[in-house]
Amino acid sequence: TFDVTFSTAGHNVPSTLYGLMYEDINSGDGGLYAELIQNRAFQQVTPGTSTALTAWAALGSGKISVVKSSSPVSPALPNALSFAVPSGTTSTVGFTNSGFFGIPVTAGWTYTGSFYYRTPSPPATKVSGSFTADLRSTGGTVFTSTTVPFTTSATWQQATFTFTASSTQTSVQNLFALSVGGSTVSGLTMEFTLISLFPPTFNGRTNGFRMDLSETLLDMKPAFFRFPGGNNLEGETAADRWAWENTVGDLVDRPGRVGDWGYINTDGLGLYEYLQWIEDMDMEPIMAVYAGYSLNGASVASSDMQTYVTEAINQASPIEFLINFVIGDASTNAQAAIRASMGHPDPFTLNYIEIGNEDFFSPTTYADYRWADLYNALHAEFPQLHYIATSATSGNVPSLSPAPTYWDLHIYSNPNFFINGAFNFDILSRNGLQFFQGEYATTTQNNGAALQYPFIDGSIAEAAYMAGFDRNSDIVFAASYAPLLNHVSSTQWTPDLITFSPNTVIRSTSYYVQQLFSLYKGDFYLTSTTNTASTPVQWSVTRDTSAGQYFLKVINTATSANTVVFTLPFTPSHTTGTGTILTAASGTQNTPTSPNAAVPSSFSFTAGKTIMYNTPGLSLSVLVVTD
Ligand SMILES: [NH3+][C@H]1C[C@H](O)[C@@H](O)[C@@H]1CO
């Protein structure tokens, strides 16, 4: 039995304590970004290759290939789909897109589509006709369709359309199709690009986010969103970095880039879309900025740093302009005016800037000049922002000048690390430093076996570690599991907090741990009987002061049950409390075939000055006591 008394003394819990780490690692295009068409603008592909046609297929006897257009729709989008119809064709011709490993068809959804098209060598007598845009199963069942009139012209035109699904698919293996009667277009060659189809989006935003994934994240009430990376910020080289200026403005002006996880990023999900969604989700950004180190191991030379920090060169915009885009005055600042023109005249909320990512891989140049060059210039321009350093792996931080106040720590390990490390922050001296556990996860079993999905043993070990975040939230201001999302059919890293398909979302056991700590974060931590990492039971007591509610979290990392007796410093007026528990047999995972193997359940208990609680093995419980 563990006897836990808690006092009314303690410290505030920062509102930023629990949030989300994000980068496009099978999670942006085809994930959070609601665009349903994969390879919609043939960005960053080599014309004439099969890869260039990823997700596209011909319908009927038309011939499709990706070409470098003789007259591109924009300098950013040089490629186009060439659609050639043999003379004498009479049957239906066209092409299909298979989406990101499927396209969801849901009854009642109104889809919004568009595409640019032109006829490079139009016939002397204009040809007019109608395309048919439809959603169909791979078996040919048409769910919905509409006609889109066209007239041949050598100049690019954009067609737009909508259609509404009247039934829901049985399988997600569906196609978007553009087709036309062969006799209308026989002998013609047409070009298409930026072929786009959106379902309804979160908050109804144009060029927005997928609803079910947004709702799944909203259910965690996350306080912050760290973006755009992670590795995907850094580029293989400086030229390949995430360059914010290429991700804003009209979609037709965004070139996309080869991301750092083995596939092309369209950058249709760009800086503005991120910031608008973060605001819609009641989060605040922790925005990482390129700090001159890329994944090939190269650092920008000291003499070149200012071109990335404050001096714009050959259309590359410096970090200073990025921050002006986010918080600048649209009436006086050019970058802020772009933000206003996109629909957000007021500044976005921004308090935290992270300088780089995992610079412990490049500590020398970070310490010698990269940290200082960015910090000194940006702090001078934006003194109200907090700047987070990234070159530490634990609370024993390296020395940097100027000395950072905020540090981002990353750790991926096994359950034993998190169980044994539950007091890693208790032992740190309180010297003004603030820590962001920006990435952490149980990534292997104790025997080193890899994990495709989180499992209950690792998730409860994470919970033990997170009780340490609650307890030390006087110096831990933020924490987020990583990575956040991955597509079940295209995965670069496992395990992930949430796994999704085109129409399903699987909440892992670690998702529920993150959710419970975030929902029951409270605003004040109450000190309680001290403990050590050597016991299987950990606890944390926080309070929602305005609600007069106390959250007694109990973690049991053993497979056997244990008993905890809480002694409160008061007698609660409500003698019945409600609790939530996540528990499962060792090895349990929520997977596509068993998505709900372990889900939280609620229970009630008798609340008094003492509360006895029998905590099952491998469990996280939150007992809510109302005064
Ligand atoms: N290697 C991890 C650390 C890096 O910051 C992330 O991009 C990766 C996955 O979370």
pLDDT tens for 455-464 read 999 999 999 9
Mutate to test the pocket of ligand 1, among 260, 286, 290, 358 (most ligand atoms within 8 A of CB): 358
CA–CA dist 325, 335 (Å, integer): 5
Pairing type for strands 476-479 and 434-442 reads parallel
Q: Is the dihedral of CA 248, 254, 258, 261 positive or negative?
A: positive
pLDDT attached to residue 316: 82
For 94: left if phi > 0, alpha if psi spans -120 to 50, otherwise beta; the answer is: left
**Å from CA of 231 to ligand 1 middle:** 6
Task: Please report the domains of the chain, with CATH numbers, ordered by start residue.
Answer: 20-25+204-454+470-494 (3.20.20.80), 51-198 (2.60.120.260)
CA–CA dist 221, 325 (Å, integer): 26
Q: Residue with structure tokens 């939530």? A: 580
**Å from CA of 483 to ligand 1 middle:** 7
First to last CA, the chain: 25
Sheet of 610-615, strand order: 601-606, 576-583, 619-626, 549-556, 537-544, 524-528, 2-12, 562-567, 610-615
The alpha helices in 393-541, defined as continuous H runs, are 415-420, 456-471, 509-519
Indicate which residue's Cα is closest to atom 1 of ligand 1: 231
Mutate to test the pocket of ligand 1, among 236, 439, 496, 497 (most ligand atoms within 8 A of CB): 439
CA–CA dist 445, 121 (Å, integer): 62
CA–CA dist 481, 471 (Å, integer): 18
H/E element, 326: helix 319-327
**Å from CA of 515 to ligand 1 middle:** 21
The answer on pLDDT for 315 being more than 80 is: no
Mutate to test the pocket of ligand 1, among 26, 410, 443 (most ligand atoms within 8 A of CB): 410
Which atom of ligand 1 has the smallest separation from the CA of 232?
Answer: 7
pLDDT attached to residue 67: 98
Indicate which residue's Cα is closest to atom 4 of ligand 1: 230
pLDDT attached to residue 517: 99
**Å from CA of 437 to ligand 1 middle:** 13
**Å from CA of 230 to ligand 1 middle:** 5
The answer on pLDDT for 314 being more than 80 is: no
The answer on pLDDT for 377 being more than 90 is: yes
CA–CA dist 600, 578 (Å, integer): 13
The answer on pLDDT for 165 being more than 80 is: yes
pLDDT in tens, 380-428: 999 999 999 998 999 999 999 999 999 999 999 999 999 999 999 999 9
Which atom of ligand 1 has the smallest separation from the CA of 412?
Answer: 2
What global pTM score does this model have? Answer: 0.97
pLDDT in tens, 73-116: 999 999 999 999 999 999 999 999 999 999 999 999 999 999 99
What is the percentage of the chain residues whose pLDDT exceeds 70? 100
Question: What letter represents residue 232's amino acid?
Answer: N
Mutate to test the pocket of ligand 1, among 22, 23, 232 (most ligand atoms within 8 A of CB): 23
**Å from CA of 101 to ligand 1 middle:** 24
**Å from CA of 297 to ligand 1 middle:** 15
Six token digits for residue 88: 């004498």
CA–CA dist 407, 394 (Å, integer): 9
For residues 463, 486, 205, 275, the Cα torsion angle rounded to the nearest 10 degrees is 60
CB contact set of 106 (below 8 Å; sequence gap of 6+): 165, 168, 169, 199, 503
CA–CA dist 169, 119 (Å, integer): 35
Q: Cβ < 6 Å from ligand 1: which residues? A: 23, 229-231, 357-358, 410, 439, 482-483, 493
User: What's the alpha-carbon Rg for the chain, to the nearest Å?
Assistant: 27
Which atom of ligand 1 has the smallest separation from the CA of 482?
Answer: 10
pLDDT band at 332; cut points 50, 70, 90: very high
pLDDT attached to residue 107: 96
Indicate which residue's Cα is closest to atom 6 of ligand 1: 230
pLDDT attached to residue 137: 96
SS3 467: helix
SS3 34: coil
Question: What letter represents residue 2's amino acid?
Answer: F
SS3 378: helix
Which atom of ligand 1 has the smallest separation from the CA of 260?
Answer: 7
- Mean residue pLDDT of the chain comes to 97
**Å from CA of 209 to ligand 1 middle:** 23
Indicate which residue's Cα is closest to atom 9 of ligand 1: 483
String of DSSP letters for 582-610? EE--TT----SSSTTSS--EEEEEE-SSE
Mutate to test the pocket of ligand 1, among 231, 233, 295, 437 (most ligand atoms within 8 A of CB): 231
The answer on pLDDT for 313 being more than 80 is: no
The answer on pLDDT for 311 being more than 90 is: no
Closest CA to 188 of 73, 94, 114, 58: 94
pLDDT attached to residue 413: 98
Indicate which residue's Cα is closest to atom 10 of ligand 1: 483
Which atom of ligand 1 has the smallest separation from the CA of 357?
Answer: 5
Contact assessment for residue 45 and residue 52, using Cβ atoms and an 8 Å cutoff: yes
Indicate which residue's Cα is closest to atom 5 of ligand 1: 230
pLDDT in tens, 534-590: 999 999 999 999 999 999 999 999 999 999 999 999 999 999 999 999 999 999 999
**Å from CA of 23 to ligand 1 middle:** 9
pLDDT attached to residue 312: 78
pLDDT attached to residue 117: 98
pLDDT attached to residue 607: 97
Which atom of ligand 1 has the smallest separation from the CA of 410?
Answer: 3
CA–CA dist 336, 342 (Å, integer): 10
Which atom of ligand 1 has the smallest separation from the CA of 439?
Answer: 10
CA–CA dist 256, 42 (Å, integer): 10
**Å from CA of 150 to ligand 1 middle:** 46
**Å from CA of 187 to ligand 1 middle:** 51
What is the percentage of the chain residues whose pLDDT exceeds 90? 98
The answer on pLDDT for 179 being more than 90 is: yes
Mutate to test the pocket of ligand 1, among 493, 494, 496 (most ligand atoms within 8 A of CB): 493
